[in-house]
Amino acid sequence: MTMTSILKKVAMALSGLAMLGFLVMHLAGNFLLLKSAKAFNDYSAMLHSTGVLLYVAEAGLVLFFLVHVVSGVRVSRENRKARQTQYAVKATAGQATLFSRTMALSGLIILVFVPVHIAMFKFGNAGGGGGLWGLVMREFSQPLTAAWYVLAMLAVGMHLSHGVGSAFQTLGILKPTWRKPLRQAGVLLGWALALGFASIPVWALMQAQKV
Amino acid sequence: MKFTLKLWRQKGRTEPGAFETRVVEGVSEDMSFLEMLDKMNNEIEAAKDGVEPFAFDSDCREGICGTCSMVIGGRPHGPGELSTTCQIYMREFKDGETITVEPFRAAAFPVLRDSVVDRSAFDRIIGAGGYVSTNTGGAPDANALPISKADAELAMDAAQCIGCGACVAVCKNASAMLFTSAKVSHLVSLPQGKVERTPRVLAMVKQMDQEGFGNCTNEGECEAVCPKGISISHIARMNREYVRAKLFGA
């Protein structure tokens, strides 16, 4: 399907913001891990008790993920084609950031991370005692697994620190005076989410070291 | 002052290009960058050794026409803020400095010769809809058509675009969104331009894509080098206009 440049960006912005909403809920749920095994396992059971609603939500997330990845790949390919000869001297005019320049890299890390993460916890063996809580704690007791999760969450922080503000600019739904505050709020929210998620493997690893 | 210039030399559109190093001596700090190149070209011609002068675009040399281009030291129009190449003076460089001069790089702006690029893609974007074709009759009385101060200012800010192409040159994606959005935003701010707002934004974006410009990734590098300080708020506005045209246009 051919889509104009702006429609591709709108698709990226909408799917990105939808996934951002999911991340906020996901992190809130994850913090129940810190409360108690029962609280977390009860939350998981509650989600599963919604039956078909859960499947609808999951299908939605898969769709947003695919739309985001496919448009992202197409946008980057077109952008590479738009400048075939590079400059000998490269400088930024001051508004680009390290993270805005590395969206493809951070996106790629997340692209690898998501299937690994789903395989580990959604389709992992939660029968080994302690239910899902036990599975999470066992996986994160491996320092390498915990480190990989922290690295992936840094990629999430990088991606969101440019992505959130960028999505609002692409949608163009707010007044120009909102642009800078939104961008700053996006950076703040992005890193708060990333560090929040990263705190969980770190905490779990510390718990495992204590025993 | 004395400078070492690394100049991009390319004989024609399909010829391969390469950098040539030249030393220019006896430059006054009050010379503009273009005057320094004029001096260098005079010396090249006086030498009569078969070397062609360095080709560059310029016209008004007072910062309002948008003809001069060039990427100087990695920045379109060189080191100045809100400035075109012709308004850059040699005092902004250090004596003895090596300065690299490259053409604007974009697949949609093919190099014609040395630093001269073909920017007619911009003309075709304007030709696709950057005008008002409704018959507005004879000149109306002043103030017969009330336009709010805020709208008038917004339209004037956008209308300042001189079409130089620095936004495309600096953008990591060689995107023409700032240029295209300036015209869309300018015309949609005014009652005369509102009539054709839907076909205009659709046609101009379509043309922009066809020319092979990249997609905007909202870094804002374009507004930082724009000699007229055009804000990327106009891009947000064009995005909104485009979605509006797609959803409710027909």
Partners of A103 on chain B (C-beta within 8 Å) are: 217
Backbone angles phi, psi at B35, to 5 degrees: -65, -35
Token pair of B73, please?
A: 């030291």
The pLDDT value recorded for residue B134 is: 84
The mean pLDDT of B211-224, rounded to a whole number, is 96
Partners of B206 on chain A (C-beta within 8 Å) are: 4
A54 touches chain B (CB under 8 A): no
| Chain segment A154-187, per-residue pLDDT in tens | 999 999 999 999 999 999 877 888 888 999 999 9
**Contact status, residue A156 vs residue A5, Cβ threshold 8 Å:** no
Give the nearest partner residue to B217 out of A10, A90, A100, using CB atoms: A100
Per CATH, the number for B3-113 is 3.10.20.30
Mean pLDDT of chain A: 94
Chain B contacts in chain A segment 91-120 (CB below 8 A):
91-97, 100-101, 103
Query: What pLDDT band is residue A1 in, cutting at 50, 70 and 90?
Result: low
| Chain segment A97-118, per-residue pLDDT in tens | 999 999 999 999 999 999 999 9
CATH fold match for the domains B3-113 and B120-248: no
Partners of B207 on chain A (C-beta within 8 Å) are: none
Which chain B residue's Cα is nearest to A7? B243
Partners of A181 on chain B (C-beta within 8 Å) are: none
Q: What residues have CB less than 8 Å from A37, skipping those under 6 apart? A: A130, A131, A133, A134
Judging by DSSP bridges, how do beta strands B98-102 and B75-76 pair with one another? unpaired
DSSP B173: T
Query: What pLDDT band is residue A210 in, cutting at 50, 70 and 90?
Result: confident
| Chain segment B147-183, per-residue pLDDT in tens | 999 999 999 999 999 999 999 999 999 999 999 999 9
Residue contact A79–B232, C-beta within 8 A: no
- Residue B222 and residue A93: Cα distance in Å, rounded? 8
Residue contact A6–B175, C-beta within 8 A: no
| Chain segment B110-151, per-residue pLDDT in tens | 999 999 999 999 999 999 999 999 887 788 888 888 899 999
Query: Which of A2, A3, A4, A5 to mutate: most B Cβ within 10 Å?
Result: A5
- Residue A202 and residue A150: Cα distance in Å, rounded? 8
CA B209 to chain centre: 17
Give the nearest partner residue to B215 out of A78, A173, A174, using CB atoms: A78
Please give the ipTM for the structure prediction: 0.92
Nearest Cα neighbor of A156 from A118, A202, A100, A109 is A109
CATH architecture of the domain formed by B120-248: Orthogonal Bundle (1.10)
Beta strands in B96-207 (DSSP E): 98-102, 111-113, 116-117
B173 touches chain A (CB under 8 A): yes
Backbone angles phi, psi at B134, to 5 degrees: -75, 145
Flag whether the pTM goes above 0.90.
yes
Domain boundaries, chain B: 3-113, 120-248
